[in-house]
Amino acid sequence: QKEVEQNSGPLSVPEGAIASLNCTYSDRGSQSFFWYRQYSGKSPELIMSIYSNGDKEDGRFTAQLNKASQYVSLLIRDSQPSDSATYLCAVYDTGNQFYFGTGTSLTVIP
Amino acid sequence: DVKVTQSSRYLVKRTGEKVFLECVQDMDHENMFWYRQDPGLGLRLIYFSYDVKMKEKGDIPEGYSVSREKKERFSLILESASTNQTSMYLCASRKGGVHEQYFGPGTRLTVT
């Protein structure tokens, strides 16, 4: 079983809609959770960090964490074409290791 | 803002050449990492370093070595480049005790 799993997509949403990206992880004791955005040909850019259960909002982005279900998600409200990218989920686990999912490709259709 | 730079954005080398990839960070981060990223395989950790002159193997160290002589600089060395090392190479850094990692712009290496 992979440490971090994401639906590879592609996920397509119309402009202005809410995009929902999901991630599950295997290490129940994992401490920290991150979302990175990666444009084609570019490097990953950190956009959200979350450490405790519940929601964390930053502008149009909301990260949600449910440690009991070992589930973390990213919601993008009012999606824009510029949000079209691959989104990587990353988890810092109890072994002090950083694991990345393989990413979900998001396309926002104008 | 965290600034991580890599010596080249694109690099083309021949099979058997020795290749040096340089990474520099300007935020006094203790921890530095080298990953490669391939389609369908995601990010894979090659080597990391928690301090100057320290290095640890990641998941795929074979064919690679690293050097960290100064805190701000972490070099990845391909001793004898092979075609299966054609990839995007990403350097990242992280402050000790903090979990967020920040990436450099990446080097797309092609070995022919």
Q: What is the reported pLDDT for A7? A: 83
CB within 8 Å of chain A, chain B residues 82-111: 90, 99-106, 108
Q: Does A100 touch chain B (CB under 8 A)?
A: yes
Question: Chain-centre distance of CA A55, in angstroms?
Answer: 13
> Is pLDDT of A95 > 80?
no
Distance in angstroms (rounded) separating the CA atoms of residues A64 and A57: 9
Residue B112 corresponds to which amino acid?
A: T
Distance in angstroms (rounded) separating the CA atoms of residues B51 and B69: 9
Q: What is the reported pLDDT for B40? A: 84
> Is pLDDT of A1 > 70?
no
> Is pLDDT of A88 > 80?
yes
Q: What is the reported pLDDT for B61? A: 97
CA atoms within 13 A on the CB side of A110: 2
Distance in angstroms (rounded) separating the CA atoms of residues B110 and A20: 35
CB within 8 Å of chain B, chain A residues 3-22: none
Chain A's closest residue to B96, CA to CA, is A96
What are the structure tokens assigned to A87, written together?
């989104």
User: Which of B99, B100, B105 lies nearest to residue A43, judging by beta carbons?
Assistant: B105
Chain A's closest residue to B42, CA to CA, is A102
Nearest to A25 by CA among A74, A71, A92: A71
For tokens 């990353």, what's the residue? A90
What's B31's DSSP letter? E
What value does the mean pLDDT of chain B take?
A: 94
% residues pLDDT > 70 (chain A): 98
CA atoms within 13 A on the CB side of B104: 31
pLDDT bucket at A77, cuts 50 / 70 / 90: very high
Asked if B105 contacts B9 with a C-beta cutoff of 8 angstroms, the reply is: yes
Q: What is the reported pLDDT for A16? A: 97
For A25-64, how does the pLDDT look when each residue is reduced to its tens digit (9 = 90+)?
Answer: 999 989 899 999 999 999 999 999 999 999 999 999 999 9
Asked if B85 contacts B109 with a C-beta cutoff of 8 angstroms, the reply is: yes
Contact state of B103 with A44 under an 8 Å Cβ cutoff: yes
Distance in angstroms (rounded) separating the CA atoms of residues B28 and A100: 24
pLDDT bucket at A2, cuts 50 / 70 / 90: low
In which residue ranges of chain B is pLDDT below 70?
A: 1-2
For B62-88, how does the pLDDT look when each residue is reduced to its tens digit (9 = 90+)?
Answer: 999 999 999 999 999 999 999 999 999
Distance in angstroms (rounded) separating the CA atoms of residues B86 and B15: 10
Asked if A7 contacts A88 with a C-beta cutoff of 8 angstroms, the reply is: no
